[in-house]
Amino acid sequence: MPERTDRGAALPNASRARRDVGELSKRRGTGRTRRGRQTRGQLVDAARTVFERDGFLHARVADICDLAGLSHGSFYTYFHSKEEVFREVVDSVELDLLTPEPAPAGTDAIARIRAANRHYLETYAANAKIMRVIQQVSTFDADVRRIRVQRHDEFALAIERRTRSLQAAELADQRVDAAYAAQALGGMVAYFAELLFNSENTVGFDLDASVDQLTLLWRNALGISADE
């Protein structure tokens, strides 16, 4: 029988929704042991390879399981669908892309910017195949698009905080709006990386020269002294 609210409105899917939430909670708990984390990691790694090879639309759970050497039952212990495991792949790649290693104490502003630009380009190069798939899926999957936007917003906030810190130390142009700069400069690097590794338009561009030029553009945009 359909459940009803106090007002008498039918909620035919309420029981099913609670079951889904309950099962999801159970499945989420299976990654807490070392063996569970290992199995989950195998599935995510295999899924990434299948998505890179076949694209999202043609990827099959059966192929992911075969590559991971695991049963269908194991897959559905950890994930409801290929969409769910794809979102985990996206989150992992985006996190790696936007999280450079912390700079050593005493590193100057330009060296920090150079290191961050190099990290982004090198990480994008290592993930170019899956990035191509992620970009395609983000055009029609709202959850994937949300993950990407969330990660890039976090990245922009980090750039904004760093810019304000430079301005407070009188190392960057006070006229620059840190929020605008964060979006513009972060977007520049992201778009350039896409062109560099997933387009034929920049064939012949050198990675080291690209890092140098992006760093120069950042320095000029923020008004950082060449002596800094």
pLDDT tens sequence across 19-51: 343 444 444 445 578 888 999 999 999 999 999
Q: What are phi and psi of 199, to 5 degrees?
A: -150, 155
- Whether 37 and 28 have beta carbons less than 8 Å apart is answered as no
Mean pLDDT of the chain: 85
CATH no., domain 11-80: 1.10.10
Q: What are phi and psi of 3, to 5 degrees?
A: -75, 155
How do the domains of the chain map onto residue ranges? Answer: 11-80, 95-222
More confident residue, 225 or 14: 225
Q: Looking at residues 182-187, what average pLDDT do you find?
A: 94
Query: Worst-scoring range by mean pLDDT, 13-17, 63-67, 194-198, 210-214?
Result: 13-17
CA distance linking residue 141 with residue 101, whole number of Å: 30
Helix (H, G, I), strand (E, B) or coil at 100: coil
CA distance linking residue 6 with residue 107, whole number of Å: 63
Q: Is the pLDDT of residue 171 over 80?
A: yes
- Whether 228 and 109 have beta carbons less than 8 Å apart is answered as yes
CA distance linking residue 197 with residue 207, whole number of Å: 10
Q: Looking at residues 64-79, what average pLDDT do you find?
A: 95
CA distance linking residue 143 with residue 149, whole number of Å: 10
Q: What are phi and psi of 98, to 5 degrees?
A: -105, 15
User: In the CATH hierarchy, which fold is given to the domain comprising 95-222?
Assistant: Tetracycline Repressor; domain 2 (1.10.357)
Predicted pLDDT of residue 144: 93
Predicted pLDDT of residue 201: 64
Alpha-carbon dihedral sign for residues 71, 75, 80, 83: negative
Question: By C-alpha distance, which of 69, 74, 62, 148 is closest to 54?
Answer: 62
Predicted pLDDT of residue 9: 34
List CB contacts of 169: < 8 A, sequence separation 6 or more.
none
pLDDT bin (cut points 50, 70, 90) of residue 122 is: very high
pLDDT bin (cut points 50, 70, 90) of residue 202 is: low
Predicted pLDDT of residue 203: 63
pLDDT tens sequence across 93-110: 998 998 888 888 888 999
Q: Is the pLDDT of residue 60 over 70?
A: yes
pLDDT bin (cut points 50, 70, 90) of residue 5 is: very low
